Amino acid sequence: MSMKLFLENNRGILLAYDQGLEHGPTDFNDRNVDPAFIMELAASAKFHGVVFQKGLAEKYYNGRVPLVLKVNGKTSLVKGEPLARQNCSVERAHEIGAKAIGYTIYVGSAHEGIMLEEFGRIQEEAHKLGMAAIAWIYPRGEAIKNDTAPEIVAYAARTGLELGADAVKIKYTGDVESFRWAVKSAGKAKVFMSSGPKAPSEVDFLRQVRGVLDAGATGLAVGRNVWQNSDPSRMARVLRRLVIEDRSVEEALKV
Ligand code: FBP
């Protein structure tokens, strides 16, 4: 299934906002705690997709940006080997207007088999309804010593391709050369960087993004580094210049 709908110049920036479930409202401030603020930001800043869980999509999604509906998730309250199970049917995601489903797989977890199986079924259901399947692939659990080690990130990328994901969302390894191998390992599955907690500075974050693009990735899914910024709209403009217009970090910052 094509990811075309989420791309511009073959690149894409997705605005991720499922942290309320994954981390709790601790990530939020008075402004960005309101999903309506995020919906407006996604539309006005022309993101290529917005990522919600079902509850937010049902109450706040207004159709102005393609929707990626996360159909699994977990809270951070449970400890031990990670498992995130399906909480929304693919059919319901389609009714709400999703153009893609998102699903997190914790590869390396003692429970990975359950997620591999669920994703396999969900991918087939999504494709039948004309929706893309995006896999968040996070190596995690006791067996994973370093989730950004090059061979682990490349394995995550390849897992997505093997399972039929149209796009994979993976962490940056920290250097262009090793990430290029991860992108290559993902084959025809598009690679999006998973952005992570707010970086120490804008330049640090933008250099990571520049690195993944130089390695051949399609773009990024970003939450905290945009909506925790003191000026999220400006940060979105900077990202568009970097990712879609393919400028350098220094050029991109001249908004
Ligand atoms: P961020 O850009 O805020 O990191 O969002 C990306 C994301 O994948 C979210 O979709 C998800 O809620 C979160 O990161 C998961 O974070 P964690 O690493 O704590 O599991």
Q: Cβ atoms within 10 A of the Cβ of 3, count?
A: 22
What is the mean pLDDT of the segment spanning 172-180?
98
Tell me the best of 194, 205, 208 to mutate to test the pocket of ligand 1, counting ligand atoms within 8 Å of each CB and taking the most: 194
pLDDT of residue 218: 98
Check residue 79 and give its pLDDT. Answer: 94
What's the pTM value of the predicted model, to 2 decimals?
0.97
What was the pLDDT predicted at 162?
A: 98
- Gap from CA of 137 to ligand 1 centroid (Å): 11
Q: What is the pLDDT of residues 39-72, one digit of tens each?
A: 999 999 999 999 999 999 999 999 999 999 999 9
Distance in angstroms (rounded) separating the CA atoms of residues 8 and 241: 12
pLDDT in the model for residue 46: 98
Q: DSSP label at 8?
A: B
H-helix or E-strand containing 225?
A: helix 224-227
**Closest ligand 1 atom, residue 21 Cα:** 12
Other Cβ atoms closer than 10 A to 111: 16
What pLDDT score was predicted for residue 251? Answer: 98
Angle of helix 202-214 relative to helix 176-185, nearest 10 degrees, comes to: 50
Residue 132 confidence (pLDDT): 98
pLDDT in tens, 197-250: 999 999 999 999 999 999 999 999 999 999 999 999 999 999 999 999 999 999
The active-site residue, picked from 54, 70, 169, 171, is 169
Distance CA 184, CA 173 (A): 14
Residue 225 CA: which ligand 1 atom is closest? 2
Identify the band that residue 144 occupies on the pLDDT scale cut at 50, 70 and 90: very high
Residue range 70-124, pLDDT digits in tens: 999 999 999 999 999 999 999 999 999 999 999 999 999 999 999 999 999 999 9
- 224 CA → ligand 1 middle, Å: 8
Q: Which of 18, 67, 198, 227 to mutate to test the pocket of ligand 1 (most atoms within 8 A of CB)?
A: 18
User: Does residue 138 have an active-site annotation?
Assistant: yes
The two structure tokens encoding residue 188: 């025809």
